[in-house]
Structures are given as C-alpha cells and as structure tokens.
Amino acid sequence: MVDPKISVVIPYRNRLDNLRIALAALADQTLDAGEFEVVVGVLELDDEYLALCREYADRLTLVSVLASRPWQVGYARNLAIRQAAGDVLVLMDVDMALPSWCLENLYDQHFAYGQQVCVVGQMIDYDNNTGDVVEVEVKPYEHYRKVLDDLGAGDPVQADPRLAARHVIPWSFAWTALVALPRVLVTRHDLLFDPGFHGYGVEDLEWAYRVCRTATPIVMGRDFLGIHLPHVRSVAANRRTETANYRYFLRKWPGTDVELAGALGDFEANEAYLDFRREVARAAGAGASLAVVRGTVAGEHRLVVGVTVDARSRWDDPTVAALLGRDAAVEVLPIAGVMLPYDDDSVRHCTVLPPALRLTAAYRDRVLAEARRVSATPLSLPEG
C-alpha cells in the first residue's frame, strides 16, 4: 500500500461540535480521499465521538488513537503523530475548518518536490485570545462551507495579522492550530511535543523552536488557511498556564529570543528583538553579553542578575564570587532578566548588578520587576 501524501493530525477531547465541522470540511477536500488520512489523538473514551467517526467511515480514512487520561494537547498530538503515515503532516487543531482546495493546494505548492519547509497556515476569525467566550452559537457546516468557498473565490486572503508582522523570531508565529511539514523531519529529529507543558499555550512555540534548530525554514503560507471555530474559553485561566509554560520554555532553552517573547508576547517581541539585542550588547560592553547566575549557598538559592559573561558564559567579576562563594554550585543562563524562569519567591536573595541597570527604562523596569518577583527578600541594588 502506498503511503498517503498527507496525514492531518488532530488532538481531541470534548469538542464534538467543532470536530463535526472540521471533519465535514475535510470530507469536502478536492484532494482525492485516498491521498490523505485524518489521524485523531483522542484523550477520552466517548460513544458520541465514535458515532461521529462512523458517519465519515465511507468518506475519510479516519484513524483514532484513544487513551483515557487528563487533557494535554501535546500528548494527544504525539499519539496521532506516531501513527501517521503521510509524507506531509498537517497539524491542525479541532477548532479549524479548511476550504475544499486547501490540502491539494498545500501539497502542490509547498511539498510536491520534497521541499523541507515548515508552512504556517492563516487562522481566519481568530482574535488572539483577547476576550472570554462563555457561550457559543453552534452554526451548521453549511454556514462555514459558504464562508470557506468565498475565501477561494476572491482576491488572495490576507486576514491573519501575522502576515503583516515583522518576522525576526520565526518560531514565535508557528501556532500549531494549522501548520504543515514533512514527516521525515519529525522522525529524523524526534520532533514530538514536550509533555512537560500543561494547560493552554507555548507547547507549540517550543516545538517550533526545535524545528528552527534543525535549520528548517518556517514560513507563512498565504494560500494555506482555515477558519477558526468558536469555543468556550477563559482568558484569565489561559494566561495563568501560558505564563507558567513560558517559564518552563525559558528554563529549557534560555536565550534572549525566548525571554523577550515570554515577556512581551509574539508580535511585540518580533518588533523589539533587534533593538533588544543591541541594548543587551551596549549594557554588557564590548565582546560581552548579559547572564543571570543562580547559586546554592548553605542550602539557599541566591540569584545575581546582570552578570557580564563572554561567549563561553564565563565571568570575571569578583562581586559574583563574593555573593555566591567560589565553591557554590551555580547555573548560568544567557539571558538579560526581562523574564526569569523561576517561581515567585523561589530564591532567598537576589542582587541586580549595574550592567542590567544600564538597559533603557522599559527593559530595566522589567528586569527589576522580575527580580523582585522571584526574591523572597528585598533586592540588593548598587548604591546611587
């Protein structure tokens, strides 16, 4: 049996209204039904889900991988990815509906010649999580089918604000609500999702960060798009887990790109990143950069922010040795401190050195706020 061209990978739990529309749109694809499969990672055992799958048994090659366990989107995606057989993986959230020409167009324009690229799709009608949704009007697929048909009938669609944004940190816009890449990249580089992320957000950005580390281009697909379907959500609840997940991301991959995206958000970080790097270089001095150093002294964590280090993360500052002791166990993170990957009050004492205070006010204020957040005692600052 020949492997399909595309595997559409969907993580799922308790979104039956969304899934019904997503499957209807996939069943309407112009790409021959034998040339793609739909693989769903399902974290529940539910008769209604199985009944919906039966409705599409003769229209889609539909593979379900089921596990009864708490919801975790990365785990659900991994279940499906491991069973996918297509040359190209289309990672799609259950709240997306694709126009009928989407998969055929995606393959022909981006992957037909074996291109090694990660293509990010436009999300139409996505408001970037700016407001709570407490009730949803369930509209039939026919409503969305007309909207989707209209998208292909007019001028090229440029509705996603990421198209107009400055792209300097490419992984920061790779939201896996809709993204495609060759399966061989995933298997060769073990590009599964990290199960250390919990709740809403960031697991996709960390995954995209690792895609970038393979030297794979991440590009926006102007002709690869879908409509975002409404569902209930709490912005406050999402923000809580998003913040915790960004700290986990930064701890795993410390760097100025990750800390700035976590501190400012994706759009703002892309606008500010080059300026931020210049600011860090100016504050650190010629040939140096900034770091934070955490040491354990007499069983207590101490943190020093604004340490100047060389390219090998070495410092030559007697102040740091005096604060931590020459024999202390230390970790050095190559970040300026506008975001710190530590919990509130998790270090006993924090010192901010002059180089961090040489940053311009907007960045300096964030450094001080983060230092105060993680320190259980008042900060130590240079006199004057």
Instruction: Note the pLDDT tens digit of each residue in 127-184.
Output: 655 664 445 677 888 988 988 888 777 667 778 889 989 999 999 999 889 999 999 9
The verdict on 213 and 92 lying in the same domain is yes
Say what the pLDDT of residue 150 is: 83
The verdict on 152 and 274 lying in the same domain is no
The verdict on 279 and 300 lying in the same domain is yes
The verdict on 269 and 158 lying in the same domain is no
Say what the pLDDT of residue 134 is: 47
State which of 252, 271, 301 marks the end of a domain.
252
Say what the pLDDT of residue 251 is: 96
The verdict on 236 and 369 lying in the same domain is no
Instruction: Note the pLDDT tens digit of each residue in 328-350.
Output: 788 999 999 999 999 999 999 99
Say what the pLDDT of residue 127 is: 64
Q: Is residue 42 part of a domain?
A: yes
**Other CB atoms within 10 A of residue 373 CB:** 14
The verdict on 220 and 278 lying in the same domain is no
Give the residue numbers spanning the domain of 354: 256-374
The verdict on 277 and 243 lying in the same domain is no
Say what the pLDDT of residue 322 is: 86
The verdict on 362 and 217 lying in the same domain is no
Q: Which residues of 91-110 are buried (b: 16+ CB within 10 A; e: fewer)?
A: bbbbbbbbbbbbbbbbbeeb
Say what the pLDDT of residue 137 is: 75
State how far the Cα of 172 lies from the Cα of 141, in Å rounded to an integer.
31
What's this model's pTM, rounded to 2 decimal places? Answer: 0.92
The verdict on 238 and 198 lying in the same domain is yes
The verdict on 34 and 132 lying in the same domain is yes
Provide the CATH number for the domain around residue 161. 3.90.550.10
State how far the Cα of 271 lies from the Cα of 254, in Å rounded to an integer.
20
Say which residue the tokens 């009007």 belong to.
137
Say what the pLDDT of residue 259 is: 97
Direct distance between the N- and C-terminal alpha carbons of the chain, in angstroms, rounded to an integer: 74
Q: In one letter, which amino acid is 295?
A: G
State which of 190, 224, 252 marks the end of a domain.
252
What is the tally of structural domains in the chain?
A: 2
State which of 194, 227, 252 marks the end of a domain.
252
Q: Is residue 63 part of a domain?
A: yes
Say which residue the tokens 């001080």 belong to.
368
The verdict on 219 and 364 lying in the same domain is no
Q: Is residue 291 part of a domain?
A: yes
**Residue ranges of the chain whose pLDDT lies below 70:** 1, 127-136, 154-155, 231-239, 327, 383-384
The verdict on 281 and 212 lying in the same domain is no
Bridge-based pairing of strands 218-228 and 178-182 is unpaired
